[in-house]
Amino acid sequence: MFDEYAALLERLTYKYVGSKLTDLQINQFCKYGDLLLEWNQKLNLTRIIEPEDVILKHFIDSMVLSKYMYGVDFADLGTGAGFPGVPLKILRPELKVVLVDSLKKRLDFLDVVIETLSLTEIHTVHTRAEDFGRDSKYRGRFETVSSRAVARLPILLEYALPVLKINGLFLAAKGIQAENEMADSEKAIKILGGKCEGREHYNLGEGAEHRAIILIRKIKQTPAQYPRKAGIPSKKPIQ
């Protein structure tokens, strides 16, 4: 099905991301889209099911983050159906990607995507974000971390900053609520070792909501007690 929308994918990627996709990349995106809609019938992976909307609101919206990424070691926390991690990996094959989610069925889907698209140096991890951040294997490992539509910023910061390297960058994809969430996050940013480097606003055109990317740089080590045990950050955010 997505083969029919290859020209649209190519045009929108060039328009909003500034990249010209190869035939291989276009083919990978089309396979990804087909798998997403097929598996969505049994797993409810996304409410966005029209191919044009999938391309704009999932694929393009994920790839826009590539403009701000730092380094090649990348973690996608609460990846869901693979956004933004899989589109970024397709766009930038050199990335080393870890897709983190607490729901095994979603990761079963992503394992099929990875195999079908013949992607390398990308793997899934079944765990909660708090446990991921407390795992010595992942703590302080990544150069860029992102999370899309998972939780409010004060909570996300406690998930993301512990797994970043010093000078690593957290990209928080947000909507119109970005300014309010930033105001509520000043204490968490300071405690967790971060510094706000700004907010980038953009619009993907008619039919797409306003988008913002909040850029948080890690400037010092996160205290060992963070992240707190599973469930606590969402119940008692640092504020």
For the segment 200-226, what is each residue's pLDDT rounded down to a tens digit? 988 888 767 778 999 999 999 999 999
Q: Flag whether pLDDT at 117 surpasses 90.
A: yes
Tell me what pLDDT residue 168 has: 98
Tell me what pLDDT residue 210 has: 79
Tell me what pLDDT residue 47 has: 94
Assigned CATH topology for domain 65-222? Rossmann fold (3.40.50)
Q: Flag whether pLDDT at 146 surpasses 80.
A: yes
Tell me what pLDDT residue 222 has: 98
Q: Flag whether pLDDT at 150 surpasses 80.
A: no
pLDDT (mean) for 229-234 = 94
Q: Rounded distance, CA 139 to CA 130, Å? A: 11
What does the block give as tokens for 122?
């990308």
Q: How would residue 17 be classed by pLDDT, with cut points 50, 70 and 90?
A: very high
Q: Flag whether pLDDT at 103 surpasses 90.
A: yes
Cβ atoms of residues 195 and 48 within 8 Å: no
Tell me what pLDDT residue 211 has: 87
Cβ neighbours for 196, distance < 8 A, ≥ 6 positions apart: 182, 189, 214, 215, 216, 217
Tell me what pLDDT residue 176 has: 81
What is the percent of the chain where pLDDT is above 90? Answer: 88
Tell me what pLDDT residue 121 has: 98
Q: Flag whether pLDDT at 20 surpasses 80.
A: yes
Check the annotation: does 130 bind a ligand: yes
Cβ atoms of residues 37 and 31 within 8 Å: no
What does the block give as tokens for 183?
């105001």
Q: Flag whether pLDDT at 91 surpasses 80.
A: yes
Give me the residue spans of the domains in the chain. Answer: 65-222
Q: Rounded distance, CA 110 to CA 106, Å? A: 6
Q: How would residue 177 be classed by pLDDT, with cut points 50, 70 and 90?
A: confident
